[in-house]
Structure 1
Amino acid sequence: MNLHSRLTVADLMALKGQRQLSMLRVETLEEAEAAEKAGVDILSVHPNLLLNPQYRDAAPQAYTIPGGDYGDLVTEEDHLRHAFKMMRHGADAVYCAASSQTIRRLRDEGIAVCGHAGLVPSRATWTGGFKAVGKTADLAEVVWQQIQALEAAGAFSVEVEAVPAEVATLICRHTALFTISMGSGPGCDAQYLWACDVLGTNRGFMPKHSKVYRRLADEYDRLQAERVAAFQEFHADVTTGAYPQPEHLQRIRPEELQAFAARFEQLVAEGRRAG
């Protein structure tokens, strides 16, 4: 793995406003490898995937930002230890939706931080729940204030989630942060989707911004039906005696079997006498 050929924070900032970058949330090594081969610029991963020793073999060049589950980290020290651990295992930045104070502490230690604005799931109750944020002038101002706070705290990037495209475009033109759109339109610097939506494996809620490029769920259903059929046939063969057949059995030469049979009878007889 050539560490020096991956994108850096400096590279991303230089690309700001030059071209749109692509970003995916991947859940498996196979998805990470596929994204790498497809040329996807940035990957979001669960920390456990990054900690897998095979991750960087699967995606050696992808700029990777780990983001965990809400509540796993609480104090500044929790976030700091976690960030250093992620960086040791190949992270290029860390996602952090904690306070400005925590983000500032991470930045002071040289950790590249990606923050979150707009619909922030862990704070959705403050902006009206799981829905778009910024559809009124007051809420659009809240988004701008969130981004200003992140910039002041030292974050280099921000995920802008579920913000009206016009609002996001206007805001992103006036921030130095590298902006990542999660359903917030083309005015941001990168476009972010989840692999499960792109691959059509998500059987649950589909957000408005999602786009399905393949329907792998149909293929998984077909494969599962094939599994069930194969297991049914195996069960039937065992029940009827059709399995195993002679070609499935190990064999012993006749003279060796005869010698063992004679010895076995003696062993059995000795066992009975001893009992």
Structure 2
Amino acid sequence: MARRITVYDLHSRKGQQKWLQLHVDSAAEAAAAVEAGIVILSCEPDHNFEAIRAAVPHAFLSAGMPHGAVSTPDEAVRLGFELLRRGADSVYCSHSPRFIEAMAAEAIPVTGHVGLVPNRATWTNYRAIGKTADEALRVLRAVKDLENAGAACVEVEVVPVPLADLITRRTPLITMGMGCGSACDTQYLFSSDVLGTHAGHYPRHAKKYADFLALEAGLQAQRVAAFRAFAADVEGGTYPEPHHQVGMDPAELDRLETLAQSI
């Protein structure tokens, strides 16, 4: 698009368009995502945030509010406004609906979270949520609570596909689906999983399309080799060579020697 995507754009196309979405960690990843046609992004509000925003001026960018960063709704409003000032288009918030309601009352677009919510996983463990009718009903109620609080979007993580489909059909919120098949309004993955940047656990819903870990290992080996060659050159006297240095006219050097005697 020739302008930045807004909440209005997303809501206007609900049920008509499936969006791709990535959580990115750097400006380079964000720019690559947009070049690939992925214009719904999320990221952490860390030191990379401004660079990410500058790299993708027209993308819809959600900034995560760290869980526990605020302890009152008023603090959530202040931090929400700060994230908007820095360039966020929405604020991801895994706090309770009362925090979301306070931000929404000030027209701060908020993305809530249902299903497997990592910040609350001590209550559920890391597993699919909503496989029984009773548990699925609790997820539906959580979506309704977010709806009533005024949220703009909801991340739906690792719930059965039929439940994700029911949520998406029944809520006006934009559903951002991770591990929910293709039922939600967006298909959402983390760039670290797509790029294969880590050696840890890859969730069942992730698909690795590249092996950046192996590439980085190769680059690290080249770094070590280059540094060793540099050290060997210095030790052997082959670096620096004359063309790496700045000389001085002998007459000027003689004059300097004379002038230096007065110091």
What is the TM-score of this pair, normalised by structure 1? 0.90
Contact 1:181 1:190 in 2 (8 A): yes
Please name the residue that 2:246 is paired with: 250
- Which of 104, 108, 111 is 2:105 aligned to? 108
Instruction: State how far apart, in whole Å, the 2-side matches of 1:154 and 1:50 are.
Output: 29
- Give distance in 1, aligned partners of 2:201 and 2:67: 20
Q: How far does residue 180 in structure 1 lie from its aligned partner after superposition?
A: 0.6
Q: 5 Å matches for 1:9-88?
A: 9-49=7-47, 51-52=49-50, 54-88=51-85
* Divergent runs of 4+, >6 A: none
Distance 1:78 1:27 in 2: 26
**Aligned pair in 2 of structure 1 residues 246, 28: CA closer, same or farther (>3 Å)?**
same
Please list the CA deviations of residues 120-176 of structure 1 after superposition, one character each: whole Å capped at 9, or x if unmatched.
1122222x2111111222211111111111111111210000111122112321122
Structure 2: give runs of 5+ residues left out of the alignment: none
Residue number among 184, 189, 197 corresponding to 1:188 in the alignment: 184
- 1:3-14 mapped onto 2 (5 Å cutoff): 5-14=3-12
Mapping of residues 1-275 of structure 1, within 5 Å:
5-49=3-47, 51-52=49-50, 54-126=51-123, 128-264=124-260, 266-267=261-262
Which amino acid is the alignment partner of residue 107 of structure 2?
Answer: G
* Equivalent position amino acid for 2:60 in 1: Y
The 2-side partners of 1:202 and 1:169 are apart by 31
Q: How much does 1:20 deviate?
A: 1.1
Residues 1:130 and 1:162: Cα distance change in structure 2 (over 3 Å): same
Q: 2 CA distance for matches of 1:248 and 1:178?
A: 59
Contact map agreement 1:49 1:55 (CA 8 A) in 2: no
Give the % identical residues.
Answer: 44
* Residues in 2 aligned to 1:152 and 1:91: alpha-carbon distance in whole angstroms: 23
Quick check: 2:45–2:65 contact (8 Å CA) kept in 1?
yes
The answer to whether the Cα contact below 8 Å between 2:118 and 2:126 also exists between their aligned partners in 1 is yes
SS in 1 for 2:206: coil
Shift of 1:69: 2.5
Deviation at 1:215, TM superposition (A): 1.5
Letter in 1 for 2:35: K
For residues 69 and 79 of structure 1, the distance between their equivalents in structure 2, rounded to whole angstroms, comes to 11
CA distance in 1, matches of 2:255, 2:172: 86
1-structure distance, mates of 2:48, 2:83:
8
Which deviates the most, 79-88 or 33-42?
33-42
Q: Aligned Cα RMSD in Å?
A: 1.8
Aligned amino acid, residue 86 of structure 1: L
Change (3 A) 1:176 1:255: same
The residue identity in structure 1 corresponding to 2:82 is K
CA shift for structure 1 position 117: 0.3
